Structure formats: structure tokens, C-alpha cells
Structure 1
Amino acid sequence: MRLFIQSQIREYPLKLFNVLPMALVVLLTGCTTASDKTADKESSLNDTLPKLTLQNVLPTVASNEQCNAQMDSDILFGVGFLLYENQELDAAKTCMVLAAPKHPRAFCYLSMIAGQDESKTDEQRNTESFNYMAYSALQNDWCAEYGLYQAYNYGHTSAKQDTALALRWLERSARHGYPEAQKDLIEKYEEQGNLSAAYAWTRIMAKADDTTAADALKARMSAAQITDGEQRYTQLTGQVTSKQALYAEAREEDVGRYSAEIYQDYPDTFKGLSSAERYNYVKQSMFKAIDLPFVKGRGHVLSYIVVNRQAQLKKPGVDIAQDKKIVAVMKDDELSVAETIAQALSIVNKTYR
């Protein structure tokens, strides 16, 4: 089975992505009792999964033209992601296997790749796909947790249908911040008539300044249900991964994706940089580009990272956002990304000495 896990994080406008570093926003606060209860629930849920280790989940793979074990793990993940998007699944698998020890999200993609492996029997595909999900879920990855919800809800990938267990995995994915899981969870609670829980999760999903998000539910609830819903909401605010943390996580993945695209198409960009320097340059340039008024999408961000680096190699400390000729090229919507970069680099080579 192919799991349809859509990363809605990537659909938010670019300007919302300039957030605090992951380490500063991912901390979950709240009373000790609530945290302990959540930990107990997660531990008991983990006990429903097979005992898996990194060594018995990941296969041994040989390097391919795109990926090898000497590459930085974030670039391996990024290249694997690009190959997966292009449905080059065998090559994507190699990259994701090499990236997985440091990038748990790779297991979610490996699960989806395994589910499409026509060289194996149904049983082999299902077992491999499930084990990737299970191992990743043990690392608290919302993507894999949502995959387990789908598996148990529909009885796919070696999982016997168990809607009660499915609901527990759905809630765990929702607690770890996945918007699609939160949306599905609200629908499930409404179907069950548990309006207090649906109300609490509707409040969690709403924007901070949206005081009307749960009004439709509230109109159907008794005073006691509303009180219960408010109490549940208060508890959840200390347990659910914040939207800011999810944005930051997506941006960390984007560093790998941009690095991978540049590594493949413009490798000279990283000439002279150590792994740490390359990572920091891409991350800082990405956030800088996101805030520029003429940047409208990923292509503009990629162009800025590549061209600004080449300009800095010629003239340290320069910022191409101050160059009117280059900005004019970046603003030209008729140009492809490759054309934008080529024309901007031509200006750099003629102007910067």
C-alpha cells in the first residue's frame, strides 16, 4: 500500500517560515502530571509495536551515482527526497537508507517506497513498509505515526484492522503536531459524539488570534461539555508540539533539499566550505531570501543562495539583494530558475572583481 501522507507544512506561505530555531521552540511545557500521563500513554503504545533496531530495519545498500556514505546526511536526505518526487524509487531508497540513521523522517519515505516495490511479494512489501513505519514511530515521528493510523484503520501493510488502536496512533500524530492528523481526529471525535474532545482539538488547530474557530461546535454543546472542552484544551496546550516547531522542522528539511539541489546542479557553490559552513550558509541565506520582497517561491530562494555565494567568493560580504541589476533579473517571472541563475551569474562575473 502507498501511504498518502501530505506534508501540509510546506503549503504555508514562505513568510511564515522565518521562525525560532528548533531547539528553542520544540520544548513541550505543562504540568508534570499531564506530561507523565502522556509519557505513560506513549510507552504503552510503543509496546504494541515489534521490537526493532536500526540494524535489523535498515538494509545494506551500495552507493549509486547520486548518493554515497561520504555525503552529509542532510544532503543525502534532500537528494533522496528529490528522487522520490521524481519516482526514481530505487535510487531514492539508497539515499534514504544512508540518511536514515540521522534523519528519522527518511523512514517514512522508505515505508512508502517499500509499499511500491514490485520486485517483492505482497507479504514482503507489507512487512518492510510496516517495519519502517514502526521504527520511525518509536522515534516519535508524526509522519510514521499517521502512517500507523492508516495501517490499523484500514488493515493494511501487515496490520490487522484495529480502529481503537488506529485512533490512539492518530491522536499521537496529532499531539506531535501533524495538521492532517489533527483534522482527522476532530472528525473522528465528532462522529463518536465526543464534542468536548473535538472542541479542544479545534481550538488547538486554530490560529492564536482566532476566537471563533470552535463556535459551530460550541453551539451544539451543553455548558458542561464546554467546560470539559476548555479543560481538555488547556491540558493539550502543554502537550501538543507547536506550529512554530513544525515550521522549524520543515525549514531544517529545506536546508537539506536546497543543499541537495545545489549539490547536484551547481556544485561549485559549496567550494571551500566545510560541512558545517555549508549548512550554516544555506540556512542563513534561506532565511534571508525568504524575507526579501521579490522572493515569491522556492526557485527564487534557490537562485539567491547560489548567486549570492558566487558573488561573495569574488567580493566577501556582498549581498546581491542590494544589486539592482540582479534584483531585476530575479523579478523577471518569464525566466526559469536556470535562466535566472545564469543571467545573474553573468552579472556577477562582469561586475564583481
Structure 2
Amino acid sequence: MKVFNVLPLALVALLAGCSATSDQSSPKQSSLNDTLPKLTLQSVLPAPTSNEHCNAQMDSDILFGLGFQLYEDQEWDSAKSCLELAAPKHPRAFCYLSIIAGQDESKSAEQRSTDAFNYMAYSATQNDWCAEYGLYQVYQYGGDGVKADPALASRWLERSSLHGYPEAQKELISQYEAQGNLAAAYAWTKILAKADDTTATDALKAKMSAAQIAEGDKLFNELGTQVTSKKAMFAEAREEDVGRYSAEIYKDYPDTFKGLSSTERYDYVKQSMYKAIDLPFTKSRGHVLSYIVVNRAAQLKKPDANIANDKRIVALMEDDELSVNETIEQALVVVNKYYK
């Protein structure tokens, strides 16, 4: 399956994304949580306020998607309001709230650091791999009013790795290699690697004894029952894509969702997204967005319509000279003229 990333590969800040992986905490996780301030959702989030883009009556995934768009556009105040409204159901929002808080020049440097850290800390207690990685960086290097603590940093790095974050796993492997713990580096390399790619593990094995390889294989098997799977991480990312596509369509093509309930809208976007990703002519996020919008317009006129079978529309989708908006506008002309 093709994958079209919505997020940049790395945020221009400590965090690279948040998402809750579990509501359950192991004793080891609980003890690590005890190193953080005792925070509640109510203590880190004020009473959210509406703005021209967002209000409390909107679906939470659309609120998150709009908040993300506004964040990318550096409309900090509006982004903050939307993300605060979305955060109770979308923990990834805390990542952006932390970054925004660190840039809030209306507050003192001390208050900015406190707010940024608290967003991160609360999110980490909810098993968010992004915030856990953010805490690793804070404790590794010091920041947000926190002194460096490499030992504590390593614990947060391991926890982010266990919750499936590839960047954390890469850093953990690098640290184990630097420490000479080749068995652990080997186990985590096998976790990180694609199923059919043994390049990295083969390189490590060349440096290891038979006993180290056996130890690494044993640890790999143990980790296999603990680490969030790539499949789960992929599904998690696609769920967030639904919100981002929905938000963009809600803002620019609101008629697309005419007549749909919140559940129907969510299901339509999700199903259409997966269909579009697997089509031979979809090469980008813009193509997926175009398919979702235009296919819905076609179905409003003809319920069994599928624009993937319409050569006129496919030709528009394949035209690299057209922008996303131009593709959609011209495809809608086709729909309005020929779909009855």
C-alpha cells in the first residue's frame, strides 16, 4: 500500500507527534510516571475557547485537523484554540500545544517553559510515544527549566521505543552500540527493520559472537510481545489522516459532507482514503483529496458512481500541470455535466 505522509518527517521542535497507544500502564511505566508532576487534563487545559475556525460543537478529528493546518500556517492563537478543543480525544494535539506554548511571548520565559513541559508531561503519562521522546530530549540535554539527567532520559527513550516510535528506536540502537551492548542493539535492530531487510542486522552480526547473537535473539523474542507493532502504528497514522483530510475538505469543499452524519462522514472519508491510496493514478495526498471530494460529488448524483472508472476524470488526475484545486474544479465540471 502506498503511504502519503501528512506530517513533516520531523517537527521543528522537541516533539515529532503524539498518539495514545494504550490506556493501561505497567508497573515500570507507572514508576516512570512518578518522576513527573501530578497533572490532570483539567490542570493542563484551560476552558477551551471558540474562534472563527473552530468551536466545541465540531467533530474532534476535524478540530485536530484544522488545528494542525493553522499550526503549519503559523496562526498560533487560532491553532492553539482548535488544538485545545481537540486535545481531550486527540493526544497528538499536546505536541503542538507544547511547541506553541514555548513560543508564547505574552508570558515570561519561566511560564513558557512550565507550560511547554506540562503539556509534554501530561501526554507522556497517557503513554504517548511522541511526548515520551520529547522527555528523552529534555532530560538528555536539559531544557524547559529541567536539568539534564541522562539516566532518566534513557528510560524515556526506551519507553518511546516500546510504544513504537521509529526515531526513538534508532537512537536507542545507536546508544546500545556506543555502549558496546551489541545484543541489545541487535534485538532492537530486528524490531526496527522491515521484515525482508536484514542488511543492518547482518552488519551487526558480523561483529558479534555466537553467544551475543543468541542473547540478542532471546531479547528480540521478549520485545516482540511488548513493542507496539508497525501495523498498529500504521493504522494509528491513517486514523489521523482521516481527520486531516476531513478538516481540509470541511474548510474548502464543505458541500462534500452534505447529508452525512458525523459517523457517516468519518466512514466515507476513511473508506475513500484507503480506496484512493491503492488506485494506480494516485501519486500524492492531493490526488487522494481530489478523489474523496469528486467521488462524493459523483455519488450525490449517482449513488453507485466510482470516478476511478471515468477516463475523463482519471485523465485530469494524471495531469501534472494541474493544481489540486484545478483538478477538483475541472472534475466537478465533468460530474455536473455527465452524472445524472
TM-score band, normalised by shorter chain: over 0.9
The equivalent residue for 2:176 is 189
The Cα shift of 1:338 comes to 0.3
Q: Percent identity?
A: 73
Question: Residues 32-65 of structure 1: CA distance to partner in whole angstroms, max 9, x if unpaired?
Answer: xxx9xx8221111111111111111102232111
* Larger RCO: 1 or 2 (CA < 8 Å, sep 6+): 1
Question: Residues 141-169 of structure 1: CA distance to partner in whole angstroms, max 9, x if unpaired?
Answer: 11111110011111111222100000100
Counterparts of 1:89-238 in structure 2, within 5 Å, are: 89-238=76-225
Give yes or no for the alignment of 1:284 onto 2:284: no
1:131/1:4 Cα in 2 relative to 1: closer, same or farther (>3 Å)?
closer
Contact 2:41 2:88 in 1 (8 A): yes
Q: Is there any run of 5+ residues in structure 1 with no aligned partner, and where? A: 10-21, 28-34
Please give the alpha-carbon distance, in whole angstroms, between the structure 2 residues aligned to 1:109 and 1:178.
17
Please give the alpha-carbon distance, in whole angstroms, between the structure 2 residues aligned to 1:217 and 1:211.
10
Counterparts of 1:1-353 in structure 2, within 5 Å, are: 3-6=13-16, 39-353=26-340
Letter in 2 for 1:5: L
RMSD: 1.9
Please give the alpha-carbon distance, in whole angstroms, between the structure 1 residues aligned to 2:292 and 2:330.
15
Please give the alpha-carbon distance, in whole angstroms, between the structure 1 residues aligned to 2:96 and 2:331.
35
Please give the alpha-carbon distance, in whole angstroms, between the structure 1 residues aligned to 2:134 and 2:52.
30
Please give the alpha-carbon distance, in whole angstroms, between the structure 1 residues aligned to 2:229 and 2:312.
41
Contact 2:15 2:131 in 1 (8 A): no
TM-score by length of 2: 0.93
The Cα shift of 1:222 comes to 2.2
The Cα shift of 1:3 comes to 2.4
Letter in 1 for 2:61: D
Please give the alpha-carbon distance, in whole angstroms, between the structure 2 residues aligned to 1:216 and 1:144.
31
Question: Residues 320-350 of structure 1: CA distance to partner in whole angstroms, max 9, x if unpaired?
Answer: 1111111111110100000000000000000
Letter in 1 for 2:254: P
Please give the alpha-carbon distance, in whole angstroms, between the structure 1 residues aligned to 2:187 and 2:27.
21
TM-score by length of 1: 0.90
1:255 aligned counterpart, secondary structure? helix
